Structure 1
């Protein structure tokens, strides 16, 4: 016998996270607030990392025509992690960035951001992110109070099924962008196609960036080594990067090592391997704009699967990206028709691909995932050597 609807609702609410209940008073209060002006314009919620933002950027240029709006009538609500480059990358659009982790954990911060979103009086709110969190992206869409709330159908698992069962019915339109796995660029354009009721073919990632000298001494042409990431498991072993760097130097290039504060622990090892004439240490020494300046002037980038790697491809720089199987074909490699000639993706296939990084085979959270650790160094070098322009 089928349960009554009110019992289904009670069961659903009982499966929600404790933090969802904690934020109920905040979210309910925001729903009762009024916008400060007549509803107008479009809000696009992008609670993305840097790489996701890069893959979305070119699709954004289709939004003004589809919604019959000027760029200045469109607001991108993004993440503080790429705040420093937002003005340059999103010229002509309004941009507001937030600390998405604080929004998901701090009730007062959540209230202030949600109140700002509601008071803007957006007529339309959109989010086409496939892998997203209800306590950030979906909560912001609802907080907008927009007349039209349009989202993509997300990735639904046992862990988030109850949450999305609550949120999805509250939208005016939920668009399916395709079965998993499917590359994010393709998803963005599937979303646009259904919005416009006509097929819109995907574009290769391209981003314009300023022309400014990188923060390095004058000298020979250089190759950038980006050996870290936001997850230790996705890092190809450091000793492999060091061996590749030595071979690059033998070709006549300098090597520039870049990274965040997470990679500072490796500085002494790297500095002990290379001489000053062949090597520049920019680990934890650049802002994000300066990192982009450096990549833009490089002859090539060798990288783990990271946001800077996607940005390098979008800038047209020869880029070799080492990747694993957790999100295979979702972010990398790019589909054949969308892969620029300057991009190379190197991997080691394992039967456990598509694990969403839930890996049972590594010993600790600090170890690399086996599918990344086993990427063959000779394969990487052979590919890179054929890919590198001749040194000046």
Structure 2
């Protein structure tokens, strides 16, 4: 019996009526015991999560060498997945519309209920209600998931939702870093984790390279990529601090600064360029190039400066030096990254590190009080 109280989000979309709509679409899995011919991987999380996960993609491909392998994720993740060449198809979903727009929510679930797979894999340690919800309506012989933590769901809800899956693996003792967790999850599913190298899976195509080259053809190197935004505003270093770093780079070096980010961050980029001392050496790419195109831009940069965000992980995956300001909410789980030695992390250490972003202060001082040593940046990378 499915219980509505584990899906409190439904209250904002019509309560019991929408729960009943979802319940009718649910199909419980059965262990087929045969080799899957079609596999869907659910990655409903962020760009950085996928970039770290991509280190084990070949392991999943090798588990099902003859199967049709697809991926469900946000549009940016789907774009990166397509560049790897390991997926036959992708299914994009819009998190905001799914959580806030009842019509889109119903359309998405209906579409998934009409898209059968032999196997659905949800290989995330921190499961969330959205993906459990979507996995449940996909007609599948088998569904695999992870007995994870309570970052996004209560322990009670996690246990209750396990009935939606035919296999739930336990990776205890849990490794600290997400990369090691992904390897442990693949191993628990029966795959063989592989050692990762930075040339293994591309995050952009030759077409993306050509587009990025066209955007930069009138700008002299060296390039410094700067990303002053992040998916969550509480992870953002104050824009005034970015302005100080920007002016120092423009004053003390000959570098061209490339401002990147999502369309929602364009106002910050415009503010930074308008207030700097040499706007002719600042190019705004924010909202004007897709994530793969910006990955190609990062590959041409001498350095990336930014917050704990997707571009930081993209730079690390390609071995591009990155100096990143981050807080203590998940410190050590995603960054610092032992497999991305070119990435340096700057924070203001607090006794509350590891709070899972349940900040009890008036502001996240672990971020707002962090400092970037600008003089060291200039000396380290020879961009003067």
Band of TM-score, shorter chain: 0.7 to 0.9
The TM-score normalised by the length of structure 1 is 0.82
- Matching residue of 2:10: 19
- Matching residue of 1:77: 72
1:215 aligns with 2:215: yes
Partner secondary structure for residue 335 of structure 2: coil
1:183 aligns with 2:177: yes
Number of equivalences:
365
8 A contact 2:273–2:279 mirrored in 1 = no
Deviation of the 1:40 alpha carbon: 3.5
8 A contact 2:315–2:321 mirrored in 1 = yes
1:116 aligns with 2:107: no
Distance 1:362-1:178 versus aligned 2 partners, 3 A rule:
farther
Partner secondary structure for residue 230 of structure 2: coil
1:127 aligns with 2:122: yes
What CA RMSD, in Å, does the superposition of the two structures yield over aligned residues?
3.0
- Matching residue of 1:330: 333
**Residues 80-229 of structure 1 correspond to what in structure 2 (within 5 A)?**
80-134=75-129, 136-156=130-150, 160-178=154-172, 182-196=176-190, 200=193, 203=196, 207-208=201-202, 209-210=204-205, 211-212=209-210, 213-216=213-216, 217-229=218-230
8 A contact 1:45–1:140 mirrored in 2 = no
Deviation of the 1:64 alpha carbon: 2.2
Stretches of structure 1 lacking an aligned partner (at least 5 in a row): 1-8, 364-368
- Matching residue of 1:230: 231
- Matching residue of 1:258: 260
8 A contact 2:316–2:322 mirrored in 1 = yes
The TM-score normalised by the length of structure 2 is 0.84
Q: State the Cα deviation string for residues 22-57 of structure 1 (Å, max 9, x = none).
A: 4332223223699xxx98411111101111111111
1:316 aligns with 2:319: yes
Distance 1:29-1:276 versus aligned 2 partners, 3 A rule:
same
**Residues 368-383 of structure 1 correspond to what in structure 2 (within 5 A)?**
369-378=364-373, 381-382=375-376
- Matching residue of 1:54: 51
Deviation of the 1:273 alpha carbon: 1.6
8 A contact 2:128–2:152 mirrored in 1 = no
Stretches of structure 2 lacking an aligned partner (at least 5 in a row): none
Partner secondary structure for residue 45 of structure 1: strand
8 A contact 2:98–2:105 mirrored in 1 = yes
- Matching residue of 1:366: none
Give, in whole Å, the separation in 2 of the partners of 1:264 and 1:100: 20
1:361 aligns with 2:361: yes
Distance 1:124-1:90 versus aligned 2 partners, 3 A rule:
same
8 A contact 1:244–1:381 mirrored in 2 = no
Partner secondary structure for residue 102 of structure 1: helix
